[in-house]
Amino acid sequence: MTSADSGIIAAIATAPGRGGIGVVRISGPQLGPFIEAFLGFTPQPRHAHLCVFRDPQKLPLDEGIALFFPAPNSFTGEDVLELQGHGGPAVLQLLLASCFEQGARPAQPGEFTRRAYLNDKLDLAQAESVADLIDAASGAAARCALRSLSGEFSARIHALVSGLTDLRMLVEASLDFPEEDIDFLAAADASGKLATLQLALQQLRSNAQQGSLLREGIRVVLIGQPNVGKSSLLNCLAGQELAIVTPIAGTTRDTVRETILIEGVPLHIIDTAGLRDTEDEVERMGIARTWAAVDQATVALLLVDAQHGVTAAEQTIMARMPTSLPLLTLHNKIDLGLELPNAAANTLYVSAKTGAGIDALRAALLQIAGWQPEGEGIFMARERHLVALAEAAQRIERAQHQRAALEFFAEELRLAQLALSRITGEFSADDLLGEIFGRFCIGK
């Protein structure tokens, strides 16, 4: 059975475990007969019906609320039935099993949202933001995802695509009437229009990059001898912010020591404590993974005890770090009343105990990552969006240099438009859809 087939799908939409309420969601092109058989009556659209849910043998399973959303005014664009029962795993499993007995099949991860996309209720960028909203690690990330879900990101893409379409029409007109003595492009200020589009795209890329930071976070390599205060520093940095973050792609749990949040931006701390020469095969594999994570890091934090400064041991490990990795040296325990040298570049003095210097450290980390705290209009963006935006920017840049050769000019504009349309999913291969929706949770 492929994920794209139609038919009735059902899943528990609420999180596993016990809760006050649990929801079973059912979607299908025509749920009428299913609902009639399941509930014994046809509910009024969008009306809460308190009723007893029964199995096919008419034995009661639970009492709860049935909600019917007829197509097309539902999340998936199909008929949708929601059963709100008591939120226990056993009772919800019974309800679900009963749905299967009546002809539904288990929904695959993200299948409800996939149907919403296929029925034009959401475009691809919006569908992705559904998962991003659920996975959001902070309030800031959730707000960004919601902005994308509401279509603000897509609207900006559409505006760019429509600008490009207008320009392409001008070019086509020039190509169609080569003998005319009018320079359509000059007359319509094609160059100025292209420059305006370029600027809008640049702004959008910057907003998207910020969103991507909120989603992916920053990878911070932590270097430090035992007892210099690494754990104390992380606790102090984390403060009250609780990190609930799913591991980012390419970072296994054993390379990330922990994830903390700064202004909602996740900081994945990659611990180098275990990086030592060893004969042990298993340990070696772990070390290889850590080095791979170090290679992708944004910044290295070298933590030293201010009483000793940077010693030979730290110098050895620093020498093995990629030269391109920005390094911040932190002298910890300044509360011990030490005489501090003049501040050097990329060097900060902190006390994990008293919190002195920690705000400066937070600011420095965010600055290195490129975070703009005052950033407005940030969109939750994924790597694939950034790649597409970069490609569009490159195409437009090339078009700027091709204005004399109209065919090439037109072709670059077409390719820029294509790259942008991939974001919202106008042109999307099936495997991309599989990749995107396969990462959703079941029931969404």
What is the spatial distance between Cα 75 and Cα 117, in angstroms, rounded to a whole number? 10
Per CB under 6 A, contacts with ligand GDP among 345-364 are 351-353
Residue facing ligand GDP at closest CB distance: 229
Binder among 64, 87, 211, 229 for ligand GDP (CB under 6 A): 229
Could you count the other beta carbons within 10 Å of the beta carbon of residue 309?
12
Alpha-carbon distance 90 to 227, whole Å?
48
CB of 257 to ligand GDP, least distance (A): 10
Task: Please give the size of the binding site for ligand GDP, defined by CB under 6 A.
Answer: 15
Closest CB to ligand GDP among 232 and 296?
232
CA angle 152, 156, 161 (to 5 degrees): 140
Q: Which stretch binds ligand GDP (CB under 6 A): 72-80, 178-186, 311-319, 330-338?
A: 330-338
76 or 272: CB nearest ligand GDP: 272
Of 335, 391, 397, 411, the one binding ligand GDP (CB under 6 A) is 335
Q: Which is nearer to ligand GDP, 94 or 364 (CB)?
A: 364
From candidates 121, 156, 215, 230, binder to ligand GDP by CB under 6 A: 230
Length of the chain: 444
Give me the sign of the Cα torsion angle 328, 334, 339, 343.
positive
Helix axes of 152-176 and 124-135: crossing angle, nearest 10 degrees = 160
Instruction: Tell whether residue 336 is a contact of ligand GDP (CB under 6 A).
Output: yes
Q: Is the dihedral of CA 72, 77, 81, 82 positive or negative?
A: negative
Q: Does 238 bind ligand GDP (CB under 6 A)?
A: no
Q: Is 114 in the site for ligand GDP (CB under 6 A)?
A: no
Structure tokens at 233: 């520093």
Using CB under 6 A, which of 333, 382, 385, 395 touches ligand GDP?
Answer: 333
Tell me if 99 sits within 8 A of 131, measured CB to CB.
no
Q: How many CB atoms are located within 10 Å of the residue 210 CB?
A: 25
| 260 in contact with ligand GDP (CB under 6 A) | no
Q: How far apart are alpha carbons 268 and 256 in whole angstroms?
A: 6
**Using the rule CB under 6 A, which residue among 3, 102, 206, 232 binds ligand GDP?**
232
How far apart CA 185 and CA 208 sit, in angstroms, is 31
CB 140 within 8 A of CB 365: no
Stretch that binds ligand GDP, among 28-36, 145-153, 157-165, 227-235 (CB under 6 A): 227-235
**Residues in the site for ligand GDP, rule: CB under 6 A?**
224, 226-232, 332-333, 335-336, 351-353
